[in-house]
């Protein structure tokens, strides 16, 4: 059975990356609601992310989205992050917000547009070189809306060609994480609709290509922990984009729609020994806070991941293995449920105090006065949001 010191050590060492875009204004296709104190620059986004790390202690890196976070000097931006006690992490490419990409980017039938998209992906690796980032995140909105619109096999060939070119440009310590999405914005076919397609394309691209699992990108009822276990077994799970959804890709706070699902995912991660940074599995939030305050939303999301992790660590692995070997269906399930039903908040409060943090990150942030400060200071300019 996992001992308390082991659980405390694992939770203290956990790292969860924050997305820069979570601190900007966002919304649905119907309306984006502006909030007070929203960042206007990448530097201000990083400052807000640093506040989340200040109170949680486990969010030391910030993912950038290009061109939303474009600056003239990325090395200077990395130094700015370091000055605030965090670092720059994953570089996320964007080949879905240009008029040229209406029919796709790297899968587009026009070679000129495919070249334009590929040049952007390669430029993102240049940014990685400047920031010291390890991972390049690749999500493609490419797909078709109507049968006959394009050649499905040809589009897969174009995708493979682009991924091979990106893989060849990666440095010795860099990786590319290929994301998949069941639908949207394409409704007939997405060119990377599922983990199988992503995995096959990664295999063809090379050993530095791995799959990222966005927990909101699946059909209702999909057994995501099975996908996680399979990719872990194959050595091709690069990381997670954590969020929650009730229907489709809603980008709600992770653990809010189905905390039991998040627990089941973390059970597989812990079982495979993939919780530590040495495993290479990256844990990142990918959420847009449409109506909830940005910084508290990120703090609560980090805490939700911590709670699911703590419960997964409390599973009695020896007892579970014995029950499974004996074919004791009810006992095996009960062992999992005992861990899930444990109130882990006291353990996490203790972990934070050991780390020199307030046991209640949300309350600590509310008392800090940071929100009142940025509301007063961030007047004028253009608030960050979709496409900025």
Comparing 91-100, 140-149, 379-388, which segment has the lowest mean pLDDT? 379-388
- The residue with tokens 């091709």 is 236
Mean pLDDT throughout 283-299? 95
Q: What is the pLDDT of residue 313?
A: 98
pLDDT tens sequence across 334-348 = 999 999 999 999 999
Q: What is the pLDDT of residue 388?
A: 44
Is the pLDDT confidence value at 164 over 80?
Answer: yes
Mean pLDDT throughout 303-328? 98
Residue 283 contacts residue 305 (beta carbons within 8 Å): yes
Structure tokens at 65: 């989205």
Q: How far apart are CA 59 and CA 71, in angstroms?
A: 23
Q: What is the pLDDT of residue 229?
A: 98
Q: What is the pLDDT of residue 247?
A: 87
Cis-peptide, bond into residue 285, ω within 30° of zero: no
Q: What is the pLDDT of residue 343?
A: 97
pLDDT tens sequence across 41-92 = 999 999 999 999 999 999 999 999 999 999 999 999 999 999 999 999 999 9
Residue 77 contacts residue 131 (beta carbons within 8 Å): yes
Mean pLDDT throughout 346-367? 98
pLDDT tens sequence across 223-264 = 999 999 999 999 999 999 999 999 888 889 999 999 999 999
Q: What is the pLDDT of residue 255?
A: 95
Structure tokens at 112: 């000129």
Mean pLDDT throughout 19-29? 92
pTM score: 0.96
Q: What is the mean pLDDT of the chain?
A: 96
Q: What is the pLDDT of residue 39?
A: 97
pLDDT tens sequence across 79-130 = 999 999 999 999 999 999 999 999 999 999 999 999 999 999 999 999 999 9
- How does residue 387 score in pLDDT terms, banded at 50, 70 and 90? low
Every domain of the chain and the residues it spans = 13-313
Structure tokens at 55: 């109170």
Residues of the chain with pLDDT > 90: what percent?
93
Summary count for the chain: helices (H), strands (E): 14, 10
Mean pLDDT throughout 193-208? 98
| Distance, CA of 113 to chain centre | 28
Q: What is the pLDDT of residue 27?
A: 87
3.20.20.150, 3.90.870.10, 3.30.590.20, 1.20.1740.10: which CATH number matches 13-313? 3.20.20.150
Structure tokens at 270: 């812990």
Q: What is the pLDDT of residue 4?
A: 84
Q: What is the pLDDT of residue 248?
A: 84
Is the pLDDT confidence value at 308 over 80?
Answer: yes
């Amino acid at each position: 059975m996992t001992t308390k010191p082991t659980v405390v050590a694992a939770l203290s060492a956990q790292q969860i990356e924050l997305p820069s875009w979570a601190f900007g204004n966002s919304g649905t296709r119907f309306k984006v609601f502006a909030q007070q104190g929203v960042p206007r620059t990448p530097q201000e986004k990083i400052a807000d992310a640093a506040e989340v790390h200040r109170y949680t202690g486990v969010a030391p890196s910030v993912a950038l989205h290009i061109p939303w976070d474009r600056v003239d000097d990325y090395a200077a931006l990395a130094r700015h992050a370091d000055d605030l006690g965090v670092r720059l992490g994953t570089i996320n490419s964007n080949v879905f917000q240009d008029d040229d990409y209406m029919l796709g980017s790297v899968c587009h039938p026009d070679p000129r547009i495919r070249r334009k998209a590929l040049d952007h992906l390669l430029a993102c690796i240049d940014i990685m070189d400047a920031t010291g980032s390890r991972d390049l995140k690749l999500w493609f909105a490419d797909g078709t809306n109507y049968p006959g619109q394009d050649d499905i096999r040809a589009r897969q060939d174009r995708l493979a060609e682009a991924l091979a070119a990106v893989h060849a440009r990666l440095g010795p310590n860099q990786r590319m994480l290929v994301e998949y999405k069941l639908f949207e914005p394409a409704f007939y076919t997405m060119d990377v609709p599922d983990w199988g397609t992503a995995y096959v394309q990664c295999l063809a691209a090379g050993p530095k290509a791995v799959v990222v699992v966005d927990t909101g990108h699946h059909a209702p009822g999909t057994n995501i922990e099975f996908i996680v276990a399979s990719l872990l077994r194959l050595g091709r799970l690069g990381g997670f984009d954590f969020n929650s959804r009730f229907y489709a890709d809603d980008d709600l706070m992770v653990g809010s729609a189905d905390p039991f699902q998040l627990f089941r995912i973390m059970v597989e991660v812990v079982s495979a020994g993939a919780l530590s940074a040495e495993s290479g599995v990256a844990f990142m939030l990918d959420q847009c806070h449409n109506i909830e305050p940005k910084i508290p939303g990120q703090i609560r999301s980090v805490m939700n991941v911590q709670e699911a992790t703590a419960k997964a660590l409390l599973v009695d692995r020896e007892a579970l293995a014995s029950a499974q070997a004996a074919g004791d269906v009810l006992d095996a399930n009960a062992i999992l449920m005992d861990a899930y039903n444990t109130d882990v908040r006291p353990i996490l409060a203790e972990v934070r105090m050991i780390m020199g943090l307030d046991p209640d990150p949300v309350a600590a942030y509310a008392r800090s006065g940071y929100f009142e400060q940025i509301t007063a200071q961030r007047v004028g300019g253009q608030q960050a949001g979709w496409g900025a």
